[in-house]
Amino acid sequence: MDKSHRDILKAKRMDLARDLDVNTAVSYLYSQSIFTENDKDEILALKTPQERSEKLLDILPKRGPEAFDVFVKFLDERQPFLSKLLKPNTSMEESKQPVDNMDSPPAFDKKPSMESEGDLKPQETTDATPAESKEDGFSSQDTKEAKEEGNADQGDGSRSSRLFLKSSTYKDGVNSDFMYPMEHRPRGQAFIINNKSFLPASGMQKYPRNGTDVDAEALYKLFRALEFETKVYKDQSSKEIMNIFDHYASMDQSSYDCIICAILTHGEEGLIYSTDGKIMLKELTTKFRTKNLHGKPKLFFFQACQGFEYMEGVEETDGPSRDEEMDEIDAPGNNKITLPVEADFLYAYSTVPGYYSWRNSVRGSWFVQAIVSVFREHAQTMDVLRMMTRVNAEVAKQKSNTNDYFSDNKKQIPSIISQLRKELYFFPENVLEDIGDRTDASKAGDGTRKHEKKCLVS
């Protein structure tokens, strides 16, 4: 391979490694006799797409003078935005600034950081002082409200619940043995890890997550309205994230009913980015298999990419809506049972494995904003799984708006993995009389089980 071709592969290595459809590229180069069978097997044996891409770029320059042209031909056919990088007089900077961005940023989404990389310092945002809250987008009024009694208006049009039935049966004959208890105030702990800016060690320093502060603020206010003690941690390193999880896993949970974690960052399938590296999600979630949280619902919300593919849309006439109900699998009674270690978890991913996750640089991510909208409208009457189905529907309506033909009009669908054993309501139905007629469901008093025809508003 010519030295000029080696040099350009080296200069664009980071961008190519991040966005290359490596499995297809390997097959193509093998079919064109550029790669040997040993090359193909060696690359595909690696675990992550990033590692496979790096290995491909290591081997390619050693495979003769035709290797570069064949590689560019592949990119012309399958990933033209990458082939531009390898041709004279073209660069990523020529592309217009996209409106929607991704949480595993592609080559065309380069944006200069507004902060010096050396000045980035992970910091914790708490409600300790009004000054700290204001700095991270949370008003001092929110901090003040959080310290007042929960029966005051939370400032979002909904009122915290005051009335709870202590008997084994809630209104309309819904047996509490099929529900997780939500009797404590506060309900539990909620924490948000909001990574916007990244250090060079992560490889993501050129890709700040503009718009993520809008998501963090919206989730903060939502969790507070749901009566959770909530903290936001901004720009956290791998060590700091691990310490946060250790802290919440080890704390006394006896006076809480539930715990919530939201992570807003870049990601790939099975992992997230800290400010200085990567962390496997399993390393974090397994920390909550503790005696402290035994039998309590543990909710995780991940706003992060899970791969490097664009999701296309399919034109289809949607069928009639049907009321969705959970299968009730937990038998009533007070007998002690042995629970599986993975029970009582819910994992809500912004996208399915293999695909990008979209985030608007002004309005925030599709996924988080849909959660906030749906939960504020229906948390009084619906369980979490029904609300997350509504979230899926809201996100599915969206389509990307960028300035590049290959990424414009793309779609997204969240992935909800439930290992819950019971229905999870934040507010039992009987609080409807307390909050007034906010929805059609509240007027009818039948929001839990009966068919609901009200349209969602974005």
| Residues acting as catalytic residues | 266, 305
Output the CA–CA distances (angstroms, integers) from residue 59 to 47, 74, 183, 428, in the order listed. 17, 16, 60, 60
Pairing of strands 298-303, 345-349: parallel
What token pair was written down for 436?
A: 């007034």
Instruction: Specify whether the CB–CB gap between 366 and 359 falls below 8 A.
Output: yes
The CA distance from 173 to 165, in Å, is 12
